[in-house]
Amino acid sequence: MFGASCQLARKSNDEAASPKIPDSYVNVMPPLAPLALTEAEAKERFDLIYKINGEDFLAGQVINPECDQPAPSVLNLEIVTHSAFGNHKTALAIRGDGKNETVRATIDESTMGFPSPLPIKDKINTQVCASRIAGKSKAEITTESFDQIREYLESVGPDCEQITAKKMGWFCKVTSVDPESAKQELIGVRTAMIRKWSRQPYLLARRLAVGIQIANALQSDQVEKSLDTFCNIVRENLPQEVPIVMTSQKWQKALCTKESEFRVEAAMFGLAKTINEIDFMRQLFEATSKLGSLTIRVPKDVSPSGQFFVQLKPQADVNGNLATASIKLWKTDGTAEEPQRPCWHPLFMENPQLMEIAINLSMAGDSTRALCDRANPSIATEQYLEGYLADSITSETEFVVSNGRAKVLRLPTGEYSYTVHALPENPDEWDDASLTATPATGLIEWTVKKPRAVISSWGVQQTL
């Protein structure tokens, strides 16, 4: 054998022009790197075998080997990598002159290119052709070639802690964390939030609590039962109230399917990425939010009850400021360039929005070798990211306030539109039907060190 907040309905301003987020993907076509063969073009497959403890390990397959020339122009490999979140077929097209080689990889519809540290194209092709001439259906590769193939897979999946050879094939062990250490880190963040922040963002606090719950489940004497209970918690919460990793259908399937052999690994991964998200959002909140107040001071006849329902909506500059601030958090060496982002991930590639958030929150691993050949994020994906950042670190954006009283708020820097409705004297009538009267509307500039906005007139567009 081989080893619920009312702010949840708020959206970003779709009508305003969305500020462009710097490209998360680099569009490149590595020199001399051909596209991988399609399934229809794969006429012949030849197994590459490596001996581990006397047993054959399938390291990959050569597709359409070229044996009519000593040095083929391209060597096409197909490799299946397994992870807790599924099986991932990787097609590698290797090209070079025998000294300098370039690899073009395609996995789950993501394409990337990177240089090969060691030339193996001609060596593998020679071994395959010699085996074919000898009437064999497989070729045994050297340790050097085996190690090089593993390094290719590490370049493709930078968030894999380890790429190991198991009986099932190549296996990507995803990021994990010690549950007790993670729990203490999250408790420390929660304590700091309570002591330092006079207003805590609801969604961030809720996701932090969910992180502590999964850490507790992993430390339970009955882990399987505790994970079942945790899965119910995830299902019962709104998607906005759980860390972004836990909204993934692949993650939920790996964690919540009782027959899954990867339940604990998925839980560890979810906990590790929850810490990443909470830490990033904490830094973004501290870097961008300002503590201030909003006061309504209007004539008493405007509202006999003296109570008002306020709705705030961030404008485009709020999202732009958050995008700019998040870029600064990416930078670790003080350079003007953002770090190279990964092209593929075994979980986050589930959909473009999930991948974009994971990349921008530094949750998808750092790629130092592979360059992506992929379209830039769509405007809708960029707006989804911007809205996610704003929702995550904004405190209250819908609330009731009394006439003459100030509401303390902590909001990211920028401009907010407001809509204020006068409420009936009977609280039982505070429903949607009571919000039909003409409201007060306007804009709030939340930019000075300690914003103090006052709404003093009714029914007139104001900028405060």
Q: What is the mean pLDDT of residues 429-455?
A: 82
- The phi and psi torsions of 322 (rounded to 5 degrees) equal -65, -40
> Which amino acid, residue 227?
L
Average pLDDT over residues 91-106: 89
Q: What is the pLDDT of residues 217-233, one digit of tens each?
A: 999 999 999 999 999 99
Predicted pLDDT at 334: 47
Quickly state the pLDDT bin for 339 (edges 50, 70, 90): low
Q: What is the mean pLDDT of residues 440-456?
A: 92
Q: What is the largest distance, in Å, between two alpha-carbon atoms of the chain?
A: 98
pLDDT at residue 18 in the model: 32
pLDDT of residue 413 exceeding 50, the answer is yes
DSSP 8-state code for residue 85: T
**Which of 280, 255, 277 lies closest to 268 in space, CA to CA?**
255
Mean pLDDT for the stretch of residues 162-185: 94
% the chain with pLDDT above 70 = 85
**Angle of helix 263-288 relative to helix 202-218, nearest 10 degrees?**
150
Q: How far apart are CA 44 and CA 55, in angstroms?
A: 24
Mean of all residue pLDDT scores within the chain: 85
Tens-digit pLDDT profile for residues 378-394: 888 888 888 899 889 88
pLDDT at 5: 33
Residue partners of 413: CB distance under 8 A and separation at least 6:
288, 289, 290, 318, 321, 446, 447
pLDDT at residue 7, rounded to an integer: 35
pLDDT tier for residue 191 given thresholds of 50, 70 and 90: very high
Burial class (CB in 10 A: 0-12, 13-18, 19+), 14: exposed
Would the pLDDT of 10 be above 60?
Answer: no
Residues 6 or more apart in contact with residue 287 via CB below 8 angstroms? 325, 328, 329
With 70 as the cut, is the pLDDT of residue 14 above it?
A: no
Q: How confident is the model at residue 156 (pLDDT cuts 50, 70, 90)?
A: very high
225, HSE (Cβ side, Cα atoms, 13 Å): 3
Closest by CA position to 462, among listed 400, 403, 420, 414: 420
Q: 450: Cβ–Cβ under 8 A, 6 or more apart, which residues?
A: 290, 291, 292
Residue of 300, 375, 287, 276 lying closest to 327 (CA atoms): 287
Q: What pTM, to 2 d.p., does this model score? A: 0.83
What does each C-alpha distance from 198 to 220, 287, 292, 408, 411 come to in angstroms? 33, 15, 10, 9, 12
Q: E strands along 233-354, which residues?
A: 289-296, 307-314
Q: Which residue has the higher pLDDT, 273 or 326?
A: 273
* Residue 340 pLDDT grade (very low, low, confident, very high; cuts 50, 70, 90): low
Band of residue 28 on the pLDDT scale cut at 50, 70, 90: very low
What does the pLDDT average to over 97-118? 88
Question: Which residue did the predictor score with more confidence, 60 or 461?
Answer: 60
Sheet strand arrangement including 440-446: 398-402, 307-314, 414-422, 440-446, 462-463
71: its two tokens: 């040095």
- The answer to whether residues 30 and 113 touch, using CB atoms and an 8 Å cutoff, is yes
Are 303 and 389 within 8 A, CB to CB?
no
Listed residue (435, 405, 391) closest to 294, CA to CA: 405
